[in-house]
Structure 1
């Protein structure tokens, strides 16, 4: 039955099958992690969704620095002088506690209190639906299986026709089917890269990037006219580069790479 149709008709059926399989994969991706609960996200939370623990800690210590609490010491160390700002996020308080004695940034990141605070942060984001559970990530990966199944049908027709001498249509149909199979496999492979963030988190990050587009590093905003909240939001949404513009020495001490233009997850959240 599979081979009882002409090449052009089979190619049209194949494209229809790919369209349906792609719709399934994209629907699963759009629905899994689409519901959230809990309180509104802080800049530290947004930073974790954007680029995980490293950026979250950089935003947290930047909040302390802008509050005048963190000071630079000798041998690339940091220390605090004074209490953390009132209402600080738990990670900010953990960073403050780690800096009660002079520390390098690497030592701060390895501090047990900071590690515990990060685990609690991740647990809360998972509980509230912003980060995906392992089961949800498996469902996303399984949503791509129809694409590979359709590709397998197309490849089977091509191979069977070549081995058994059956016709798969004219040269144009064969080349078209081969290209479609290749595109299907590549599309399935691309969608197999499952994000850690849920659909709601990806939508939120895209919305923030549109809302705060004027704070993007490539726009070169005048930070002398901006407040601390805008700086922290820009770091959380676009990565740590804004800190280089306002406090370059401090930014380098906390691991901001001037050559890195975008966070790892920047492109992924666009999906």
Structure 2
């Protein structure tokens, strides 16, 4: 029975059950999508894994810009000139096609060809295991059920003891159990936020960020003399801030927020 043991012993048993439930939830998250197949994602696909469609499009249009294929026009429009670089990904070609006539960035993002290219990109990432399917995301969410079950058991003991007049332990045990129940429920709620990326994609991004740590905007890298590949890699792994440092006018045109994405003057760079 829930009230058949003393408060401190029940609390220790409860914490043990919470630890088991956390292991189950974390295991479900880490083991789902832990293997991927096919080629390593290119920079546009890495950008999608990092921050979804907007960053992927920003990396794609930055590739066109660096190749001299996109100019800033009047009334906040962009216009493509010349052919796209040879071997460009499908999304880059779709962006170039959308910019054959002057367009605002919002119109480019709404272009049907760009949307189709994004869906094909997502399909390829899902097929190769870098992004999770709906079934896999549902599996991760179900992994949090034991946490809520454990929280329910603890709350049931507290409520049942209060209603039936049974002792749930001393004031310290009751307060500790109540706090643990709340923490368990909040932890379960936090873990129900299921990532779109599989664990293989998260490992890949962590590894590449370590390998290219010198490009982290928090370290304020010097961009003078850097080539296009380096810039696009930095954007794909760390977000659009590098484009703001290299080409601020163009960055603003393609949706990079100068206030949010520019480093604060009073912020110290991270140590190397």
Q: Normalising by structure 1, what TM-score?
A: 0.94
**What is the distance in 1 between the residues matched to 2:22 and 2:259?**
36
**What is the distance in 1 between the residues matched to 2:145 and 2:171?**
29
Question: Does structure 1 residue 230 correspond to structure 2 residue 235?
Answer: no
Question: 1:20-169 counterparts in 2 under 5 A?
Answer: 20-169=20-169
Gaps of 5+ in 2: 263-272
Change (3 A) 1:252 1:261: closer
- The residue matched to 2:258 in structure 1 has which SS? coil
Q: Which residue of 2 aligns with 1:269?
A: none
Q: Which residue of 2 aligns with 1:210?
A: 210
Is 2:244–2:256's contact at 8 Å kept on the other side of the alignment?
yes
Is 2:240–2:261's contact at 8 Å kept on the other side of the alignment?
no
Q: Which residue of 2 aligns with 1:243?
A: 243
**What is the distance in 2 between the residues matched to 1:261 and 1:30?**
30
In the TM superposition, what is the alpha-carbon distance from 1:261 to its structure 2 partner?
A: 4.1
- The residue matched to 1:256 in structure 2 has which SS? coil
- Structure 1 runs of 4+ with >6 Å offset: none
In the TM superposition, what is the alpha-carbon distance from 1:41 to its structure 2 partner?
A: 0.8
**What is the distance in 1 between the residues matched to 2:205 and 2:113?**
28
Gaps of 5+ in 1: 263-271
Q: How many residues align?
A: 262
**What is the distance in 2 between the residues matched to 1:226 and 1:57?**
21
Q: Which residue of 2 aligns with 1:221?
A: 221
Question: 1:188-207 counterparts in 2 under 5 A?
Answer: 188-207=188-207
- String of CA shifts for 1:130-182, please: whole Å, max 9, x gaps: 11111111101100000000000000001111111101111111111111111
Worse-superposed segment, 135-144 or 195-204? 195-204
- The residue matched to 1:88 in structure 2 has which SS? coil
**What is the distance in 1 between the residues matched to 2:193 and 2:119?**
23
**What is the distance in 2 between the residues matched to 1:157 and 1:252?**
57
**What is the distance in 2 between the residues matched to 1:92 and 1:260?**
26
Worse-superposed segment, 208-217 or 161-170? 208-217
**What is the distance in 2 between the residues matched to 1:206 and 1:261?**
21
In the TM superposition, what is the alpha-carbon distance from 1:106 to its structure 2 partner?
A: 1.0
- The residue matched to 1:78 in structure 2 has which SS? strand
The CA RMSD over aligned residues, in Å, is: 1.1
